[in-house]
Amino acid sequence: MPEGLEAELYRRAAEVCVGRVVATVDVDPRQQLAIPIGRELVGSEVTGMRRIGKLVLVDLSMPDGDSVVLGLHFGMTGRLVVDGIAPIERLEYSSGRDDPAWDRLLVGFDGVGSMRVNDPRRWARFTLDPDETRFGPDLLDHDVATFTDALAESLAGRRAALKSILLDQSIVAGLGNMTVDEILWQVGFSPLAPAGQLEREPITRLVDAIDEHLPAMLVRGGSHTGVLEPAIRSGLPPCPRDGVALRRDVVGGRSTVWCPGHQTANGRSS
DNA sequence: GCCCTTGTTACGCC
DNA sequence: AGGCGTAACAAGGG
């Protein structure tokens, strides 16, 4: 499903739209929180394509010179299709079909080209000038030292499960259920460990794991291209690292797969 | 026809 | 007050 990695793949695909002028905007009328995006965007020029966490931000310059930002959040099953090409063909947990009836936002450009969000379950959300300050450091785009400091500050004193904290977009923007499970498996921390228990050195190892594995998964095509997710395609096999039976628990209200053998409270085997 | 899937948010409890 | 856990919600697929 679209986590930060997928949003980055969408953003890159949508960059070809920079410089184009919006000719038509159609929004699913049943879009919840439907905002009056539409006519007033017609005539605006796309000046940038940014991303914060799971949110893709389309910078628009209006004919009168005003700027507006269109925020695209893809929910669990939203796919971006640019000029008829989907950067991610088959989304985990979603249908592989591209039914025009599922188009929730369709932007046509002057001359040629289009950008649309196709979402069977209607969980995608579109906003104008979304609050960009509510996010923590981005999962991919951050300075290592600053990120480590911010994470240490965010985790300090927290008693909630490490996984719950890492899923909080105001702490790290863009991590989702799959990427958190993968990172914790890679670095060897229990998802259930109280977050505040991590000391400085384990936090630096967590940051190292994020910086090593997420860019690699991005290159491979997204949040399902780690070790853990492919391994659990059919049931719960032994842990690919140490052969201990993987567990499935609910942590932070989310289905969580982890290895009680090598994932411990401080990342050190006992 | 029930139950699964996830990100976000609302809400009650401590 | 605010951290924390839980549940509700979107809706199609199995």
Look at residue A223 in the predicted model and tell me its pLDDT: 87
Confidence of residue A269 (pLDDT cuts 50, 70, 90): low
Which nucleotides of strand C are protein-proximal, with an atom < 7 A from a CB?
3-8, 10-13
Give the alpha-carbon dihedral of A253, A8, A75, A222, to 10 degrees.
Answer: -60
pLDDT exceeds 80 at position A1: no
Radius of gyration of chain A (CA): 20
For residue A204, pLDDT over 90 is answered with yes
- The residue with greater pLDDT, A125 or A66, is A66
> How many CA atoms are closer than 13 Å to the CA of A191, on its beta-carbon side?
29
| Cβ A234 to strand C below 7 Å | no
Residue A123, CB, strand C, below 7 Å: yes
- Cα(A253)–Cα(A243) distance, integer angstroms: 26
Q: Is the distance between the Cβ of A91 and the closest atom of strand C smaller than 7 Å?
A: no
Q: Is A112 left (phi over 0), alpha (psi -120 to 50) or beta?
A: beta
Alpha-carbon span A268 to A270, nearest angstrom: 6
| A253 is near strand B: CB distance < 7 Å | yes
A78-104 mean pLDDT: 71
Q: What's the whole-number mean pLDDT along residues A119-142?
A: 86
Distance CA A169, CA A130 (A): 14
How many other β-carbons are positioned within 10 Å of the β-carbon of residue A23? Answer: 15
Distances (CA, A) of A64 to A40, A43, A45, A147: 11, 10, 11, 38
Q: Is A125 exposed, middle or buried (0-12, 13-18, 19+ CB in 10 A)?
A: buried
Mean pLDDT of chain A: 86
For residue A16, give every residue at least 6 positions away whose Cβ sits within 8 Å of its Cβ, in sequence order, or none: A82, A83, A113
Q: How many Å from the CA of A90 to C1' of B13?
A: 42
Q: How far is the CA of A177 from the C1' of B6 (A)?
A: 8
Give the pLDDT mean for A23-45.
Answer: 74
Does position A216 have pLDDT exceeding 90, yes or no?
Answer: yes
A32 Cβ contact partners less than 8 Å away, ≥ 6 residues apart: A122, A125
Which element (helix H / strand E) includes A231? helix A228-231
Q: Which nucleotide is nearest to A76 (CA to C1')?
A: B6
Average pLDDT over residues A89-98: 55
Report, as an integer, the average pLDDT of A5-18: 92
Q: Which residue has the tokens 């969980």?
A: A123
Residue A119: strand, helix, or coil? coil
Average pLDDT for A71-98: 73
Average pLDDT (A15-21) is: 95
In the structure, how far is the CA atom of residue A168 from the C1' atom of nucleotide B3, in angstroms?
A: 27
Between A241 and A30, residue with greater pLDDT: A241
The closest alpha carbon to A245, from A230, A225, A262, A268, belongs to A262
Judged against a pLDDT cut of 70, whether residue A50 lies above it is answered with yes
pTM of the model: 0.92
Structure confidence at residue A17 (pLDDT): 95
Question: How would residue A33 be classed by pLDDT, with cut points 50, 70 and 90?
Answer: very low
Among protein residues, the one whose C-alpha sits closest to the C1' atom of C13 is A95
Which of the pair, A32 or A30, is modelled with greater confidence? Answer: A30
Range name among A62-66, A98-102, A215-219 with the lowest pLDDT average: A98-102
Looking at residues A117-131, what average pLDDT do you find?
84
- Protein CA at A172 to nucleotide C1' at C1, angstroms: 24
The DSSP secondary structure of A180-227, one letter per residue, reads HHHHHHHHTB-TTSBGGG--HHHHHHHHHHHHHHHHHHHHHTSTT-SS
pLDDT at A224 (0 to 100): 85
Contact A1, A214 (CB under 8 A): no
